[in-house]
């Protein structure tokens, strides 16, 4: 089966390079489009006094995420159609992107780290609620 537009769920971690490499190996033979989605890290609000510092931290985290996505794009050796930085519930964003961008394959890493665990849960939600194929790629580590 060939796919026309892949959505790869990445995180600011070295494993994302492996995940994107796998996606490119699927996309390249069919000249499929590849897009990326990630969650922006959200600092927790502890009290009102910390709010100004958290806003600065939020900006730094957003910039770090954007820089990592740019690095992924540069190292992919394949054109990246779009990148999305989401906040909140990842599965809802993935489903919305799939509908709006005509995604026909979502690729997630299967890992025990927090982001990848959330991505795996999101993949289960996608499988339950849509017709989009989902590929879970084992990333090793326990």
Rounded Cα gap, residues 31 and 138, in angstroms: 24
Rounded to the nearest integer, the mean pLDDT of the chain is: 81
Q: What is the pLDDT of residue 46?
A: 46
- By three-state DSSP, how is residue 61 classified? helix
Residue in the block written with tokens 């190292």: 75
Tell which wins on pLDDT, 36 or 132.
36
- The structure tokens listed for 120 are 């795996």
Q: Is 84 within 8 Å of 101 (Cβ atoms)?
A: no
**Bigger pLDDT: 39 or 8?**
8
Average pLDDT over residues 68-82: 95
Q: Give the predicted TM-score (pTM) of the model.
A: 0.81
Other Cβ atoms less than 10 A from the Cβ of 23: the count is 28
- Over residues 80-135, the pLDDT tens digits come to 999 999 887 788 888 899 999 999 999 988 755 555 555 555 567 766 776 688 88
For position 34, what pLDDT does the model report? Answer: 98
Residues in the chain, how many? 142
């Amino acid at each position: 089966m060939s796919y026309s537009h892949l959505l790869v769920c990445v995180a600011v971690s070295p494993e994302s390079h492996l995940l994107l490499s796998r996606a490119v190996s699927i996309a390249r033979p069919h000249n499929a489009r590849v897009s990326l989605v990630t969650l922006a890290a959200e600092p927790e609000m502890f009290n009102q006094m910390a709010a100004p510092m958290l806003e600065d931290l939020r900006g730094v985290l957003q910039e770090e995420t954007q820089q990592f996505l740019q690095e992924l794009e540069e190292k992919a050796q394949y054109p990246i159609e779009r990148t999305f930085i989401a906040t909140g519930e990842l599965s809802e964003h993935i489903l919305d992107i799939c509908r709006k961008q005509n995604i026909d394959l979502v690729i997630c890493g299967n890992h025990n780290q927090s982001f990848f665990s959330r991505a795996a849960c999101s993949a289960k939600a996608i499988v339950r609620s849509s017709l989009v194929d989902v590929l879970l790629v084992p990333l090793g580590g326990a």
